[in-house]
Structure 1
């Protein structure tokens, strides 16, 4: 928790620092393939929710901006409130990933304005997801939840991508015969939960099975290694 708090504060500080800078506007008629600009801007939305999500996603956005700056990548700003675009080469062929309000994009083939607008709406919905998850569980909730969902329901079955719009994000339609949830993923996450909660599981079992037992005086019943 201390590490997450420190990372969140660092990310928030980086985001505030970048807010004070003037980023060039993204040029609408230039391809993403140039590695500098986008074809079409993100949807503009001046609502209260847009302002709120900017604040909620600030830690994640700041970390993404810091990463892009370390890589020496060009940045540009689109939309209102602005969404920052950073072009960072990735190992896969996906157009990019949304981190907070920062779109980390890899060079992709030229796309037309209609396709770019669809992708913009898809990524804007991911910003909403980042904001809601950050409000509920902090900086790490969405990455963890997305990872769990992706292992259980891969590709087009991922609920986060379905919520953002599969077609707009360039995903294939959801299969008629779903493959998820995958048994190996269920087993994996059950093991992970049991490992993380092993002390509380031990405490619960002692409480239910050995009700006449007591833990060492002055020791926490959850973390005490043995009861008498």
Structure 2
């Protein structure tokens, strides 16, 4: 999970959301009513998904697991908890069906202060709550919110751990390749490799690599001098 920047909606789309929210409030809509209206708004959902895809990492990846393509417009705070937030743009995330329906569902716990225990990657930096071990692909919770997010979304299920570990190996290889190509004067090909790296699943792996690139132990974690050189050069040019 990585930090994502939420964009501003086109005025026409935002106006539609505002109007529908006013109607829900006027009708004192229950969860069932909100769900029916949301289900019938297929055109609006398609528009929202397109806007969320612009914010997502890689190629339309789920904002929770980072592996699967995001197919669903997820309500961060579920409709069963806040039906009046059905059309709240700040309450919408792009998620795969596995994270949205099978893992998260209607669960939405809060801490003693009333703040959500689930991390919203568009409102805060998940890095403050989660630590990713690159070699194993396993997450460790740094805070109660991090621990709950891992447990709720099942971020440490075996296929995700294996996927992240594989993504780390691929990232090192691609960085090394880009460095070699640049050194040989093949800058265009090197840029294509780096562009492909940005489109890979598990964007959290590459973001962690960028974070640790200048740390004293970076050469131990990223045990490839050419890949680390490429990573540091890329980071300085970002």
Normalising by the residue count of structure 2, what TM-score does the alignment of the two structures yield? 0.32
The structure that has the greater radius of gyration is 1
Query: Which one has the bigger helix percentage?
Result: 2
